[in-house]
């Protein structure tokens, strides 16, 4: 068997060498509690705040506006529940049909406690119409949550345009789940105009178990975890300086060595090779241009995506979100886009990364020609 090929970078990324080095420097260095007022605590606090500044540097915000979390899921929970709990009942939330479960399931949970939720449809490319979002907003709306980029098909949402609509309304907060977008496409909180933005470390070459939430000044946010006044009173619990340093180094790496535009030609060549090999038997899912530069989601007509991947065990890819890996049920994202069930079941998401090569893409196309029924 040929060496393994990894094309599932949207599911998770390996830890970058620079990130591992930053972690080692903390493991071998400042061990104190960053809240302790002595030399050991001061050194840990300095390392923590250096990391916070690196995260803020990528987002182009103030370090004090960065809340460290255990990952993107916690960041989304803190953003959505935090706003709703701070507001109190009645609360209305507007979101979209293609959000990650870490957003949609949070909204469903809040419905059990009196919140109401409007889920806005998307078009055939997986893109929401800002006018549909505007029409969904009511006098009871306290939060709009629209992802920056879809994890399955890569479609970029018009978040900045939605932000301009929300800015005209009093008492409505805009949140974006940017876990898939940060580090892959230039994106700052000012450019987007959002009040809350979630990121996940393991999507940008940091380890799993760390993330962050940007919280704009003046946004009322009830903590999920209550205890001592860590993270400006927004997230209790002694911070992991090691994981914070990892996320900070990953954000610094994304800022100084952007990689995603380098793989866009590889992604486009991949699609051209597939289309040349299979013609009308392969379809592109997602927006043709307003899409993450590393993401290619395609459907093979008359096939099972899972079966194709099982026939190529040396290729790491997925049939959608890693959270639904192995399921033969059509992806909720593709279903929301109106992709017919037979085509949705034939979908495979290939997501490229820093280390992807043209040789790997060519080899995968050759393997697909062997396993896709003629």
Rounded-to-integer distance, Cα 311 and Cα 120, Å: 37
Distance set, CA 325 to CA 308, 328, 344, 347 (Å): 14, 9, 14, 12
From 107, 251, 319, 323, the catalytic residue: 323
Does the annotation mark 319 as catalytic? no
Pairing assessment for the beta strands 141-145 and 5-6 based on DSSP bridges:
unpaired
Cα–Cα nearest to 360, from 257, 269, 282: 269
Q: Is 135 helix (H, G, I), strand (E, B) or coil?
A: helix
Burial (0-12, 13-18, 19+ Cβ within 10 Å), 208: middle
Strands (E), 111-226: 116-120, 141-145, 173-177, 196-200, 211-215
- Spell 146-178 as b/e; 16+ CB within 10 A means b: bbbbbbbbbbbbbbbbbbebbeeeeebbbbbbb
Rounded-to-integer distance, Cα 100 and Cα 78, Å: 15
- Cα dihedral 305/311/316/322 (nearest 10): 40
Extract the tokens encoding 88.
């109190």
The answer to whether 126 and 286 are in contact (CB under 8 A) is yes
H or E segment to which residue 292 belongs:
none
Question: CB within 8 A of 204, min separation 6: which ones?
Answer: 13, 182, 183, 184, 250, 251, 254
Distance set, CA 45 to CA 7, 98, 170, 342 (Å): 37, 39, 37, 54
Q: Which residues are catalytic?
A: 323
């Amino acid at each position: 068997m040929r060496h393994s090929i990894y094309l599932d970078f949207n599911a998770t990324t390996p830890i970058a060498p620079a990130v591992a080095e930053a972690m080692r420097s903390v493991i071998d260095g400042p061990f104190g509690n960053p809240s302790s007022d002595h030399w050991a605590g001061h050194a840990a606090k300095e390392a923590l705040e250096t990391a916070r500044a690196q995260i803020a540097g990528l987002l182009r915000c103030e370090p004090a506006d960065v809340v460290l979390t255990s990952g993107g899921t916690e960041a989304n929970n803190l953003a959505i529940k935090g706003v709703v709990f701070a507001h109190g009942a009645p609360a209305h939330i507007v979101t979209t049909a293609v959000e990650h479960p870490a957003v949609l399931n949070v909204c469903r949970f809040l419905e059990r406690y009196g919140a109401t939720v409007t889920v806005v449809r998307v078009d055939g490319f997986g893109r929401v119409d800002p006018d549909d979002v505007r029409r969904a907003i009511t006098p009871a709306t306290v939060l709009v949550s629209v992802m920056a980029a879809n994890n399955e098909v890569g479609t970029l949402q018009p978040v900045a345009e939605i932000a301009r609509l929300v800015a005209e309304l009093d008492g409505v907060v805009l949140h974006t789940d940017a876990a898939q977008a940060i580090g892959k496409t230039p994106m700052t909180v000012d450019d987007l105009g959002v009040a809350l933005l979630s990121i996940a470390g393991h999507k940008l070459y940091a380890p799993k178990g760390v993330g962050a939430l940007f919280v704009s000044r003046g946004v009322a946010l009830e903590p999920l975890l209550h205890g001592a006044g860590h993270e400006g009173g927004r997230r209790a619990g002694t911070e992991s300086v090691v994981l914070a340093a990892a996320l900070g180094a990953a954000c610094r790496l994304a800022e100084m060595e952007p990689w995603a535009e380098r793989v866009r030609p590889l992604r486009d060549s991949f699609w051209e090779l597939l289309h040349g090999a299979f013609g009308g038997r392969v379809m592109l899912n997602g927006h043709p241009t307003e899409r993450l530069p590393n993401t290619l989601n395609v459907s093979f007509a008359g096939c099972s995506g899972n079966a194709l991947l099982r026939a190529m065990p040396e290729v790491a890819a997925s049939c959608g979100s890693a959270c639904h890996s192995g399921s033969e049920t059509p992806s909720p994202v593709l279903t929301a886009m109106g992709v017919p069930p037979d085509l949705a079941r034939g979908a495979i998401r290939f997501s490229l990364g820093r280390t992807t090569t043209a040789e790997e893409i060519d080899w995968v196309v050759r393997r697909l020609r062997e396993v896709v029924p003629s």
